[in-house]
Structures are given as C-alpha cells and as structure tokens.
A and B are shown apart, each in its own frame.
Chain A
Amino acid sequence: ELKVEQNPLFLSMQEGKNYTIYCNYSTTSDRLYWYRQDPGKSLESLFVLLSNGAVKQEGRLMASLDTKARLSTLHITAAVHDLSATYFCAVVRGSGANNLFFGTGTRLTVIP
C-alpha cells in the first residue's frame, strides 16, 4: 500500500522564522501535489511537482521534489500569520494513475 508521511504533524512558529515541512512517500510516483486547507474549508492547490529536482516558489512558500529519495519539502520563509493552515502533500501511484494518496497533514500555526 502506498504510504505518504509528513512531518512534523504540528508546527508552531513565530512570525519571521523559517521552517521546512517534509513529505516522504513509499513508492514510485510521477506527480506530487501540495495543498493548503483552512479550518472547515476545502483544499487549495499550491504546487504541482512533476520531475526530479523540480522546484517551485510562490510568495513565502517553496516546494521541491527528489524522486530518488521519494521526498518533497515545503519551505516557509519569514512566516506570517496568514500562513496558518494545514498543509497536505499528495501523490499518485506510479505513472498515469489519477487518484491521490494524501499525507497526514501538517498543522501550521504562526504566532504573531
């Protein structure tokens, strides 16, 4: 069974600090996604990573993918309160598949 693990599960950080969320997955995948979810809300797509070494940045968030290590990172630079949310990574199984396997999520709280 495909397993997707994130760490940490909970992250409390002060505004202005940097931190990284890690996402490990157990089998080959050709696509990795990062989503944000606010409490009681739906999922907002942040990044889609397709190839080894892919790096994407949007504002204070930067995502990278190492397919050989089966690892993706979501780096937060100079956190602000508005980034408080739960972040999920998700992968598809193998190549050509479509259904997503989600990680457990990382609940981020940015303290003013």
Chain B
Amino acid sequence: NAGVMQNPRHLVRRRGQEARLRCSPMKGHSHVYWYRQLPEEGLKFMVYLQKENIIDESGMPKERFSAEFPKEGPSILRIQQVVRGDSAAYFCASSPGLAGTNEQFFGPGTRLTVL
C-alpha cells in the first residue's frame, strides 16, 4: 500500500514564476491537508480539502496561493508569482476522514527554492 506521494521532491523557481506541487493521498484516503515548513520551524497548516471541496483554507495566504483536489487526479497546491519568502518545504498529508484518531500520514514533501 503506497504511502502519500508528492512530486516534485525538489523544485527551483525564479521570482515571478509559478510553482505547482502535487499530492496523491494514500489509497482509501479522501482527506488532504497541506502544510508549510520554514527552515528551523514547525509545520504551519495551510488548507484542508476533500474531493472537489475546500473545507478549511484559514492558513492560506490571501493572494497568489490556491489549492484544489479534483474528482480525478492528485491534489495541487499552486503558487503564482513566487517570491523568495515562499522558499520552504511543503508537506501534504492525508487521512481517511473517519471518526476516531483520523490520523494524518505525511508525504515526503516538496522543497521549493525561489531564486
């Protein structure tokens, strides 16, 4: 049973370009979460999605950032017109969305570097 998949693992962009980060949840999981980790810091929640729905985007910057989880295919975190401050590791997690622990399993992350 494959775990949470993210690609690319490393992404380099110049200021002003767009970054697209992809996340495929674990098989059977319908809930996806995106977190950002700045160097030497903990993870910060960005957005929580279920298939075709954004459930909670309270952690998303108001501009340039968007996320989707279409009916078919991976979840995508999109950053438009990247700036140096966007350089970070972006982690995706998935959960089955069931009652109980609803434990989140994390992907390997995408490390974005903005030049």
Contacts and interface: CB of A to CB of B under 8 A. Distances in A.
Interface of A: 4, 31, 33, 35, 41-45, 48, 50, 88, 90, 98-105
Interface residues of B, number: 27
B45 interface: yes
Interface string B86-113: 0000010101010011111111110000
A90 B58 CA distance: 17
A99 B48 contact: yes
Dominant secondary structure of chain A at its interface with chain B: strand
B61 to A, nearest CB: 16
Contact of B103 (A33, A99, A103): A33
A45 B101 CA distance: 12
Interface stretch (B36-44, B62-70, B73-81): B36-44
A26 B6 CA distance: 32
A35 B91 CA distance: 14
Contacts of B55: 98
B101 A48 contact: yes
B106 A100 contact: no
B56 interface: yes
A90 B102 CA distance: 13
Contact of B33 (A41, A99, A103, A104): A99
